[in-house]
Amino acid sequence: MIARRLRLALLALVVTTLFAACGGDDATKAPAVTVPADAVAVVDGKTILKADYDHLIAIGLASFKARQQPEPKVGTQEYEALKQQAMQILFQRLIITTEAEKQGVKVDAKKVDEELTKLKEQAGDDAAWKKQLADAGATEADYRSTFEVQQLSQALYEKLTKQAPAVTDDDIAKKYAADKDTVFKNPEARKVVHILIGPDDGSTPDAAAFAKYKKTALKVIAELDKGGDFTKLVDKYSTDPGKTQNQGEYDVTPTGFDEAFTKASYALKTGEYTTDPVKSQFGYHIIKALADKTPEGYKPLTEVSEQIKTQLAQERKDKSATDWFVQIQKQYEAKAVFATGYGLPAPVDTTAVTTAAETGSTAPVTTAG
C-alpha cells in the first residue's frame, strides 16, 4: 500500500483497465517488435517518440534552472533518474490515453480551454505567459496535453471507483475504536486570545528590544484598562503571524506552548486579561482567557462519524486504484519493448507523475529533482 494517498490523476492513470483487463492477451509472452529509429519504446503497438522523450528531459532540466540548482551531468545517477522518470511519465500517459479510448472517455475541449485561460490569467499579460513558457522549457501544447490527461484521469478514476465497497456503520465503529486514543482524543485545553508585542519576523529580540516591547505592551494594557476592545487591539498591535487565520486565538494545552504563556493562560479567570506582560522568547504577550478549561476527553462517535466514513470511502477507492495500478503496469510492461539505453525505473515510483495543475508548478510536468 502506498504510504501517502496517491494523487487523483495518477490513481486514475494507473488503474483504468478494470473494464478492459480481462481480455485474452498472453501477458507473459514478450512481443516480437523492433523499436523504430525515431522512437525510444513501443508499447502495445504504439510508439513513444524520441522527440517527445527529449522534450520532457529538457523540461526536467529547466526545472533545475528554475530552482537555481545545477543541471545534472549526463552519466550521473541524478541524470539517469531524470531519464527513467521521463520515460515513466510518457509510458503512463500512453496507458491513460489508451485506456480512455477503450472506455469511450473523451476530452472536454471547452474545459481544457478554461484551465489554460485560467493559467494564462495567473501569469499576467501575454509577455509574462511567454516568459513562463520559456522558463519552463515548455510550450502551450504541453500544458494543454497535461490538462487533457488530467481530465481523462479524473473521469476514469470516478468510473472505476464506483465499484468500491460501501462503508457500513460497523466499519465506522471499528475505525473509531482503533483510532480513539490517537486521533479522537482531546487534550485538556484553555481557549485564550493574545496580543504579541515583538519582532514581525518571529525572531528572538535582544535585551534592548525586549525593554522596548515591554513598554509597548504596558501601553496596550493601559488601553484595555480604559475599556479598549481586545479584538481591535489584536489587529492593531499583535505581531503574531497566525492572527490573520485565528485572530490571535489558541487552545492552550499543558504542553506544546511556552511555559510562561501556558502558566498565565491557566491562571486567569474567564474574561480576565493579564495585567502584567508575559515574557516569552518572541517578546511580550497580553493574554485574555475566553473560556473555562476543558478537561481531557474524546470526541463522540456521532461528531466524527461522517469524517470517518469519508476517510474510509477514500481509502477503499485508493486501495482499489492502487491494486489495479500494479496489474495494469505489469500488463503494459509485458507489451513494451524499449530501445537500447532506455527503460522504466525499477521498482516503479507510483508518485512520479505530477501535473502542473496539482502542484502549482510553472512546468506542465515535473520529473527528478
Identify which of 293, 302, 191 has the alpha carbon closest to the alpha carbon of residue 249.
191
Number of alpha carbons in the 13 Å side-chain half-sphere of residue 103: 26
Distance separating alpha carbons of residues 224 and 91, to the nearest angstrom: 65
pLDDT of 347 reads 58
Cβ contact 322:1 at 8 Å: yes
Pick the last residue of a domain from 229, 259, 289: 289
> Which among 289, 312, 336 is the end of a domain?
289
Please identify, among 236, 266, 289, the residue that sits at the C-terminal boundary of a domain: 289
Together in a domain, 63 and 156: yes
* pLDDT given at position 15: 32
User: In the 8-state DSSP scheme, what is residue 16?
Assistant: G
**231 grid coordinates:** 479584538
Is 2 a member of any domain? no
- 335 part of a folded domain: yes
**Res 68: pLDDT:** 86
Dihedrals phi, psi of 195, to nearest 5 degrees:
-115, 120
- Per DSSP, the three-state class of 278 is strand
Q: Do residue 285 and residue 310 come from a single domain?
A: no
Residues 33 and 151 in one domain: yes
Residue 245 belongs to domain spanning: 185-289
- Shared domain for 272 and 321, answered yes or no, is no
Q: 176 in a domain, yes or no?
A: no
Q: Does 279 share its domain with 313?
A: no
β-bridge partners, 49: 39
Q: Is the peptide bond before 347 cis (omega within 30 degrees of 0)?
A: yes
What are the cell numbers at 249? 486565538
Element (H, E) at 190: strand 190-197
Residue 342 counted as domain residue: yes
Q: Show the cell assigned to 278.
A: 508575559
Q: Are residues 223 and 255 in the same domain?
A: yes
> Residue 11's pLDDT is what?
34
Give the pLDDT of residue 361: 37
Burial letters for 162-184: b for 16+ Cβ neighbours within 10 Å, e otherwise? eebeebeeebbeebbeeeeeeeb
Q: Are residues 261 and 213 in the same domain?
A: yes
Please indicate, yes or no, if residue 295 is contained in any of the structural domains.
no
The residues that bridge with 267 in the sheet, in sequence order, are none
Torsion of CA 338, 344, 346, 347, to 10 degrees: -130
- Size of the chain, expressed as the number of residues it contains: 369
Q: How far is CA 368 from the centre of its chain?
A: 17
CB 323 within 8 Å of CB 159: no
8 Å CB contact between 33 and 42: yes
Helices (H), the chain: 8-15, 50-66, 77-103, 109-123, 126-136, 140-161, 169-179, 207-225, 230-237, 243-246, 259-267, 301-334, 356-359
Same structural domain, 216 and 138: no
Q: Which of 142, 138, 54, 59 is nearest to 368 (CA)?
A: 59
Residue 37 inside a domain? The answer is yes
Query: How many Å apart are CA 176 and CA 363, to the nearest integer?
Result: 41
- Is residue 56 located within the same domain as residue 132? yes
Q: Kindly give the interhelix angle for 126-136 and 50-66, rounded to the nearest 10 degrees.
A: 110
- Rounded CA-CA distance 320/328 in Å is 12
Residues 80 and 215 in one domain: no
Counting the structural domains of the chain, the total is 2
CATH code, domain carrying 221: 3.10.50.40
Q: Is 248 left (phi over 0), alpha (psi -120 to 50) or beta?
A: left
On whether both 71 and 191 belong to a single domain, the answer is no
Low-confidence ranges of the chain (pLDDT < 70): 1-32, 346-369
Contacting residues for 155 by C-beta, under 8 A, at least 6 apart: 12, 100, 105
310, part of any domain: yes
* 202 and 145 together in one domain: no
* Measured distance CA(93)–CA(364) in Å, rounded: 13
Q: What is the CATH number of the domain that holds 40?
A: 1.10.4030
In a domain, 23, yes or no: yes
